[in-house]
């Protein structure tokens, strides 16, 4: 186990499983210390008993046994408690994922919103091999729902758009994910060869979550660790992880499982990066360096407009002056314009996009 010092005590028990109740365990961890929470809370809503009185009023909460939720009120109280702690533990730019089925996910989502979390997407895990509905009384329950939320409206969050787009054959990732359930060799077994956990999640699901919404080195907390799928995938992907699990049997399976995981090498962990992350280049630098001469004429990509380069890196169009972006937007009557991809210059009679010059400068910056 590693511990990471945060501002003041206590320390963060990274890459280890904390034994105990998730709410108490979270209370012992420091504010603003984790980048992501992934939670697969229990939803064994055992509602056979008297949930409602004859007049339909709700029966009072029973809050003495967390593992058997005798009423929606009890489940809501539990949800409120662990979400409150999770929100406290999240860094300002952190985010939370939670997964559930129709039994509990509506209560989870409503409570998330009540606490000020800001829902970014709900995601449907569409199971490619679900259990059929044997009695033919309902639709085959072939999906589960995940909710992805930032700490609050306007809060920052990590989203590796280009990595997910690459994972999806070059088309932007959608909110419906088709993945198989966890079976076969991936399914953890106990000593007697039985499945160790009733609802083990597939590693493919965590892979997509972690690649898409964390970076290497981030700290991922799973307060309902179970047999440690989150930890196994986090370790392989070079993320730090913290698990909380009450059941000693699950902890043992998870420890053994994660110990066997090897971290992928650094090159494999690098993902497609966004252009947004690349260093900014001022257009004026091209003029300073003599790549473009003051007075030189630029042409718009569509061939309809011209403008002249000025010594200070602005452009002079027919009736407007300003940055490459401003002049482009004005000439097109558009709300905005990316001047880098809009303008071209001529060399030896050939039109060349000015963005090529920016790429040259960026390459030099890399080398330098």
Q: What's the rounded Cα separation, in Å, for the pair 324 and 163?
A: 30
Taking CB under 8 A as the binding criterion, the range among 5-13, 203-211, 223-231, 351-359 that sits at the site for a second copy is 203-211
Taking CB under 8 A as the binding criterion, the range among 35-43, 62-70, 251-259, 260-268 that sits at the site for a second copy is 260-268
Q: What's the rounded Cα separation, in Å, for the pair 224 and 362?
A: 45
Tokens of 23: 């709410």
Tokens of 218: 């981030």
Between 56 and 366, name the residue whose CB sits nearer to DNA: 56
- Residue 296's CB is within 10 A of a number of other CB atoms, namely 13
By a kind-dependent CB cut-off of 5 to 8 A, residue 320 interacts, out of DNA, a second copy, none, with none
| Binding map of DNA across residues 125-144, x = CB under 7 A, - = no contact | ---xxxxxxxxxxx-xx--x
By a kind-dependent CB cut-off of 5 to 8 A, residue 287 interacts, out of a second copy, DNA, none, with a second copy
By a kind-dependent CB cut-off of 5 to 8 A, residue 195 interacts, out of a second copy, DNA, none, with DNA
The yes or no reply on residue 132 touching a second copy (CB under 8 A) is yes
Angle at 56 between CA 107 and CA 67, to 5 degrees: 40
Neighbouring-strand partners of residue 145: 100, 124
* Least CB distance to DNA at residue 187 (A): 7
* Least CB distance to DNA at residue 120 (A): 7
* Least CB distance to a second copy at residue 333 (A): 9
φ, ψ of residue 339 to 5 degrees: the values are -60, -30
Between 174 and 346, name the residue whose CB sits nearer to DNA: 174
By a kind-dependent CB cut-off of 5 to 8 A, residue 363 interacts, out of a second copy, DNA, none, with none
The yes or no reply on residue 262 touching DNA (CB under 7 A) is no
* Inter-residue contact 253 to 227 (CB < 8 Å): yes
Taking CB under 8 A as the binding criterion, the range among 16-24, 31-39, 62-70, 96-104 that sits at the site for a second copy is 96-104
Tokens of 84: 């409150």
* Surface-to-core class of residue 360, CB atoms within 10 Å of its CB (0-12 exposed, 13-18 middle, 19+ buried): middle
Q: What's the rounded Cα separation, in Å, for the pair 275 and 254?
A: 38
Q: What's the rounded Cα separation, in Å, for the pair 315 and 180?
A: 55
Between 12 and 97, name the residue whose CB sits nearer to DNA: 97
The yes or no reply on residue 272 touching DNA (CB under 7 A) is no
Between 12 and 146, name the residue whose CB sits nearer to DNA: 146
Site for DNA in 88-107 (CB under 7 A): 101-103
C-alpha distances in Å from residue 258, one per residue of 17, 155, 241, 262: 11, 32, 11, 8
The yes or no reply on residue 323 touching DNA (CB under 7 A) is yes
| Binding map of DNA across residues 190-219, x = CB under 7 A, - = no contact | -----x--xxx-------------------
Site for a second copy in 315-354 (CB under 8 A): 316, 321, 323, 332, 334-337
Interface pick for a second copy out of 103, 189, 256, 346 (rule CB under 8 A)? 103
Helix (H, G, I), strand (E, B) or coil at 238: coil
Q: What's the rounded Cα separation, in Å, for the pair 175 and 128?
A: 16
Site for a second copy in 136-155 (CB under 8 A): 136-143, 145, 147-148, 153
Closest listed residue to residue 123, CA positions, set 140, 104, 141, 143: 143
């Amino acid at each position: 186990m590693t511990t990471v010092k945060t501002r003041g005590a206590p320390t963060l028990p990274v890459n280890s499983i904390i034994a105990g109740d998730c709410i108490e365990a979270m209370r012992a961890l420091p504010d603003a210390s984790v980048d992501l929470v992934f939670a697969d809370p229990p939803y064994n809503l055992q509602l056979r008993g008297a949930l409602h009185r004859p007049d339909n009023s709700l029966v009072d909460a029973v809050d003495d046994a967390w593992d058997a939720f005798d009423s929606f009120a009890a489940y809501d109280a539990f949800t409120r408690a662990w979400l409150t702690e999770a929100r406290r533990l999240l860094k300002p730019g952190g985010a939370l994922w939670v997964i559930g089925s129709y039994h509990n996910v509506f209560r989870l989502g409503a409570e998330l919103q009540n606490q000020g979390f800001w829902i970014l997407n709900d995601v449907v895990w569409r199971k490619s091999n679900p259990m059929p509905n044997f009695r033919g009384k309902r639709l085959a329950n072939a999906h589960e729902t995940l909710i992805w939320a930032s700490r609050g409206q306007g809060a920052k969050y990590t989203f590796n758009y280009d990595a997910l787009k690459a994972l999806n054959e070059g088309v932007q990732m959608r909110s419906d994910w088709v993945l198989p359930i966890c079976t076969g060799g991936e399914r953890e077994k106990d000593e007697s060869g039985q499945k160790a956990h009733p609802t083990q999640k597939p590693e493919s699901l965590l892979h997509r979550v972690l690649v898409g919404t964390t970076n290497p080195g981030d700290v991922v907390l799973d307060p309902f660790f179970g047999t440690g799928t989150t930890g196994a995938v986090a370790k392989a992907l070079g993320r730090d992880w913290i698990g909380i699990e009450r059941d000693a049997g699950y902890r043992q399976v998870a420890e053994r499982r994660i110990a066997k995981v090897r971290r992928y090498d650094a090159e494999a962990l690098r993902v497609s990066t966004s252009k947004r992350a690349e260093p900014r280049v001022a257009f004026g630098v091209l003029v300073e360096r003599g790549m473009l001469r003051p007075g030189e004429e630029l042409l718009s990509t569509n061939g309809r407009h011209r403008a002249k380069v000025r010594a200070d890196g602005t452009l002079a169009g027919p009736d407007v002056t300003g940055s490459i972006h401003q002049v482009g937007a004005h000439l097109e009557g558009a709300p905005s314009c990316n001047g880098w991809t809009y303008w071209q210059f001529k060399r030896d009679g050939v039109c060349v996009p000015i963005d090529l010059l920016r790429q040259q400068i960026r390459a030099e910056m890399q080398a330098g």
